[in-house]
Structure 1
Amino acid sequence: MKPETRKAGRPPQDASHRLARAHRVLDTAADLVLRWGYDKTTVEDIARRAGVAKGTIYLHWKTREELFAALLRRERVEMMTEVRRRIGDGPATLRDLLRLLASELLGRPLMRASILGDSEVLGRLTRQKRDGAAGTELGGDFQTYLGTLRRHGALRDDLSPAEHVTVLISVLYGFLIVSPMMPAGYRPPDERLAELIADAGGSAMEPAGPAPADVTGAVTLATLEYVDAAVEAAQRKLRVSLGFEEFKEFEKNEENEENAR
């Protein structure tokens, strides 16, 4: 019997090849946008440097904006995955989380440009997403996390939930924005800056005095649950941006068709 050929327009059946190609394109896009900036980086540039046809890129993403959205989503996955690795199994306080988040942000130029709305790097891509963007890198579960800490007495109860978020975002953005403006001799290394961010945020949000042992355990559990949820959410969004959910649906349909024959 003559083997059936794949219908035109369907995704390739080799998922690993498709995924590897997508990541190669994103690697190239990251290199070029950090070198030239988003506004000067074209799909043609990316295709040529990645060694693929321009049309191949459009098989993965319909627009340049979608491509760079996938790039930033991948950066977030890598950032949160590394935060989770560095936390380990705890103990993990709010200060630990802030220090690791700040450390990873400082070490990732694309994430730093995204959170600060750096138009020199990300151009009009940041201008399009700037309104209401403050704090989005923390994820939608962050307020739930802070609420859990508050219930366990691990946050000041004289501040409202909204005020806790305001304090935290102000500390994070304040340090990230001001540090590059300081004279060279006053700029701390990135790891020290991350410690200063964590100390300032913790001092402003946590009650005075050491926490009881049972509270420390509850805070560690809440911190790990938040980071795990953030990693999962970031991975889910990235899979959509890479077209992987579409590919899995295609494979499922192919399997159903095969079983029906």
Structure 2
Amino acid sequence: MLNKRNIDQINDSGQLVIPARQPVPERITESLPPHSKRLKKEDQILNSAQKLIIQYGFDKTTVEEIAREAGVSKGAIYLHFPSKYAILDRLVERETRKVLEDLIQHLDADSRGYTVFNIYKFSVRALLHNPFLAAMYTRDRKTLGEYGTRLMSGEIGRAGMNFSADFIRHFQHAGMIDPDVNPEVLGHIMTGLKYGLAGMSAVEISPEKLEAISDLTGEMFQRAFGREDGDQAAAQAALKEMFAAGLSLLAQLQTEQKRSAS
């Protein structure tokens, strides 16, 4: 049925003109709670938990203390996380994802690209500048408690943060590492030295000296075993694939850990 409004919208050819859909008024969209607000609150809680866990250890940190540090109620904590263990799970996942994403960004931006030197340098620097990450890597029981130590032991340590034999093989196939090198042996050497450097972050050595040590160690690996004329695209794809597998494994182990703890 045509009313006056319809008639006004009929063109010279007798066709009804459907007006363009108008955007939602700004005042309405502003009243909708954005998803980012929830993520921001979660990050606020996680940052506070991370600070307290580094300072006092996971076992001695309570939900009440996390709430107080974050400036929220205890009930607000449970709106985002069902337990203190869930907070640690999320922290481990967040910091693991962050270091992997940062590593990719650094490698993409650096002129030497995906060389052994760069991967070693940037991954060690990430540990030196993040005490929680260093505790994850060294499986520091004082910081992570028994729950966190079990979570970081075994497969996740090999898949997510170590220079595994698979990592070496992938980069050998990409032409970035000498194909004659034994992958298992080189992986153990690189991981052991990285572990030692992460532990040195607790000693009174300046960050600048630690970075210089890690850079020199990476350069030694590059000169002895690395190649700079390999397939950078293949190396990048392999690294991203391994990181994705590591994050997937982390989620799986977190689920198994929850089942065993219940």
TM-score bucket (shorter structure):
0.5 to 0.7
CA RMSD after TM alignment:
3.5
* 1:63 pairs with one of 83, 99, 102: 83
Q: Deviations along 1:161-197, whole A, 9 cap, x unmatched?
A: 333322221222233346756xx68997221122133
User: Is the 1:73–1:234 Cα contact (8 Å) retained in structure 2?
Assistant: no
1:197 partnered with 2:214: no
* 2:191 pairs with one of 163, 169, 177: 169
CA distance in 1, matches of 2:250, 2:171: 29
CA distance in 2, matches of 1:74, 1:185: 28
Q: Across the two proteins, how many residue pairs are aligned to each other?
A: 218
Q: Deviations along 1:48-87, whole A, 9 cap, x unmatched?
A: 2223232332232222111112112212222223222222
User: Is the 2:141–2:148 Cα contact (8 Å) retained in structure 1?
Assistant: yes
User: Is the 2:139–2:153 Cα contact (8 Å) retained in structure 1?
Assistant: no
Q: Which has the higher contact order (CA 8 A, sep 6+)?
A: 1
* 1:138 pairs with one of 148, 161, 168: 161
One-letter amino acid of the counterpart of residue 61, structure 2: T
Q: Gapped runs of 5+ residues in structure 1?
A: 1-11, 241-261
1:216 partnered with 2:229: yes
Name the SS for the 1:216 alignment partner: coil
Aligned to 1:9: none
User: Is the 1:145–1:223 Cα contact (8 Å) retained in structure 2?
Assistant: no
One-letter amino acid of the counterpart of residue 236, structure 2: L
One-letter amino acid of the counterpart of residue 129, structure 1: L
1:84 partnered with 2:104: yes
User: Is the 1:103–1:191 Cα contact (8 Å) retained in structure 2?
Assistant: yes
Instruction: Tell me the TM-score normalized by structure 2.
Output: 0.68
Distance 1:38 1:152, change over 3 A: closer
Identity %: 23
Aligned to 1:111: 133
Distance 1:230 1:28, change over 3 A: farther
Kindly state the Cα deviation for residue 153 of structure 1 after the two structures are TM-superposed.
Answer: 4.4
